[in-house]
Structure 1
Amino acid sequence: MDQHSTIDPIWDTVDRIHTWLDDHSTRPREEEILLRVLKLSEEVGEVAGAVVGATGQNPRKGHTHEWTDVEAELCDVILTAMVALRSLTPAAAHVLEDRVGVVAERAALV
């Protein structure tokens, strides 16, 4: 199995989501990109809410989430970031791959 066999279907889905969003957008491109990037803040807030609920941090609400909810919300953050990156460039997969290489090198993993 080559290294891209798992990631290519994901990027194909990201590209289809990007196209679907573009097809349904009535905003100027720059505004749409800005809103897709800002959507990340909303998704990160949902991760925080799930962590609070999984730990029972809020005594008034108690345990309202499971750690699987946190996992799902983290996936939403990743997917939202991928769509935002794809909105900036059609070479999103390569940009991410290059960035992972930079971070790995910085961490002395390469």
Structure 2
Amino acid sequence: MDETDPIWPAVDEARRWLDLSNGTMPLELTCRILKVTEEAGEAAQAWIGLLGQNPRKGVTHTRDDVAAELADVAFTALVAIASLDLDPQRALADCAGKLRSRLPAGPGPSAWPPHPA
């Protein structure tokens, strides 16, 4: 782990704080996982606000707002993984590896997504 990277210590601190504040029973862990969905809804709301798709509100968000909400989703998911007594850094690396193995070789996005034969 890169000691200058603030992400992983912050994930550990958030998990410890939640464990001490709320406990670690299955209901609490369920709520931590469901929190990812709540944060995803906020990201969707920010995107809708960026596009101005609510005529009553108009444009209410920026790309930076959307990015911040998406970062909340990612961070919340990492804390949920840690709360399951798993290594969120390893889970993220495994996910990246799985995704990379599915990407086509060579340049250009024209080969993606693959078309059924």
**Both proteins in one fold, TM over 0.5:** yes
Matched, 1:93 2:89: yes
Gaps of 5+ in 2: 106-117
TM-score, normalization by structure 2? 0.80
State the 1:41 CA deviation.
1.1
In structure 1, how many angstroms separate the alpha carbons of the residues matched to 2:55 and 2:32?
Answer: 34
Structure number with the higher helix fraction is 1
Match of 1:103 among 99, 103, 106: 99
Name the structure 1 match of 2:109: none
For the residue of structure 2 that corresponds to 1:65, the secondary structure is coil
Match of 1:25 among 3, 22, 26: 22
| Letter aligned with residue 12 of structure 1 | P
Larger Rg: 2
Name the structure 2 match of 1:49: 45
What are the residue-to-residue correspondences of 1:68-79 with 2, within 5 Å?
68-79=64-75
Point out 4+ residue stretches in structure 1 off by more than 6 angstroms: none
State the 1:42 CA deviation.
0.7
State the 1:7 CA deviation.
8.1
For the residue of structure 2 that corresponds to 1:24, the secondary structure is helix
Name the structure 1 match of 2:57: 61
In structure 2, how many angstroms separate the alpha carbons of the residues matched to 1:90 and 1:16?
Answer: 15
TM-score, normalization by structure 1? 0.84
Matched, 1:12 2:9: yes
| Letter aligned with residue 14 of structure 2 | I
Give me the CA root mean square deviation: 1.9
Q: How many residues in Structure 1 have an aligned counterpart in Structure 2?
A: 105
